[in-house]
Structure 1
Amino acid sequence: MNITGRLTRDAEVRTLSNEKQVVNFSVAVNDGYKNKQGEWVEQTAYFDCAYWISANVARLLTKGTLVELTGRISPRAWVNKEGEPKAGLNFHTSNIKLHGGGKRAEAVQATSQSENNGFTAEAAEDFLPF
């Protein structure tokens, strides 16, 4: 599955007890439709994302960056401290494509480093495809 959205915060790298590293970040995906009254209704879905292939990508994943992600979605449910049921969506990312627009103003130019790392960056001088 593919999703395209903007990072809601800078990515964080966590090191697990088995020394594996995971990059965690959150993406907001906007969508919309016209209701029966002809009014435009905007909807935003938030995905908590995890990328396990290379922790080096975290430095490029800054708040506001437009990214295209490939991976799989898994739902999660929990009960918060107040006892209220909550739900969310996790996106297990296998490929990240940067489209720019984050905190870093400099252009990023890279190509896929290897078939296994699943990361691609393109020239990103404030280019927005829409």
Structure 2
Amino acid sequence: MLNRVVLVGRLTKDPDLRYTPNGVAVANFTVAVNRPFSNQQGNREADFINCVIWRRPAETLANYMKKGSLIGVDGRIQTRSFEGQDGKMVYITEVVADSVQFLESKGSSQGRGGQDSYSPSPGFQQNQNQNQNQNRNQNQNQFNDNPFSDNGEPIDISDDDLPF
């Protein structure tokens, strides 16, 4: 059996960090996830998914992310129930997050102007370009040092040398 959830969306409000009587951190948060299609009026709708995360990741989420932050959530769906004040059973379905990834740098969601796309900070783009250049240089060096590269001569291999 499999119970796995992966979400990418924006926080609808600041995470609510609390502590159990035993001192264990727990954060509740809601993620707005756009639906992959538009409604009849041409507008995109979103689902608002309740999530919970425990211990150190809960503290990290509450300290570094705020309303509007783009995050990725990896976890599982869980349903719990309790008796409400009116005596009726209350059922809650939520995502219990195993991990939360921060998908944009701090403060980059400010001034988005209603944009739906994610654009990394200029420093991120510059570092990414430097890494691509380094990888390209390494690949060229590896290609030049390859002892099995074709030097223009025919390869002498008998059928007995092949593993299949």
Pair in the same fold by TM > 0.5:
yes
2:24 matched to 1:14?
A: no
Count, aligned residues? 108
Structure 1: unaligned runs, 5 residues or longer: 107-123
Counterpart Cα distance in 1 of 2:55 and 2:8: 19
Q: Which has the higher strand share?
A: 1
Q: Give the partner amino acid of 1:53.
A: R
Q: Indicate conservation of the 8 Å contact 2:24/2:55, yes or no.
A: no
Counterpart Cα distance in 2 of 1:34 and 1:65: 23
- SS at 2:66 equivalent: coil
Q: Indicate conservation of the 8 Å contact 2:38/2:45, yes or no.
A: no
Question: Structure 1: which 4+ aligned runs deviate by more than 3 Å?
Answer: 38-41, 75-81, 86-89
Q: Give the partner amino acid of 1:125.
A: S
- SS at 2:61 equivalent: helix
- SS at 2:103 equivalent: strand
What is the correspondence of 1:1-130 to structure 2 with a 5 Å cutoff?
1-33=5-37, 40=42, 42-54=44-56, 55-75=59-79, 89-100=93-104, 104-105=106-107, 125=121
Identity score, percent: 26
Q: Name the Cα RMSD after superposition.
A: 3.7
Q: Indicate conservation of the 8 Å contact 1:24/1:49, yes or no.
A: yes
**TM-aligned CA distance change 1:58 to 1:95, over 3 Å:** same
- SS at 1:100 equivalent: coil
The structure whose RCO (Cα within 8 Å, separation 6+) is larger is 1
TM-score, length basis structure 1: 0.62
- SS at 2:21 equivalent: coil
Q: Which has the higher helix share?
A: 2
Q: Indicate conservation of the 8 Å contact 2:12/2:31, yes or no.
A: yes
**TM-aligned CA distance change 1:23 to 1:34, over 3 Å:** closer
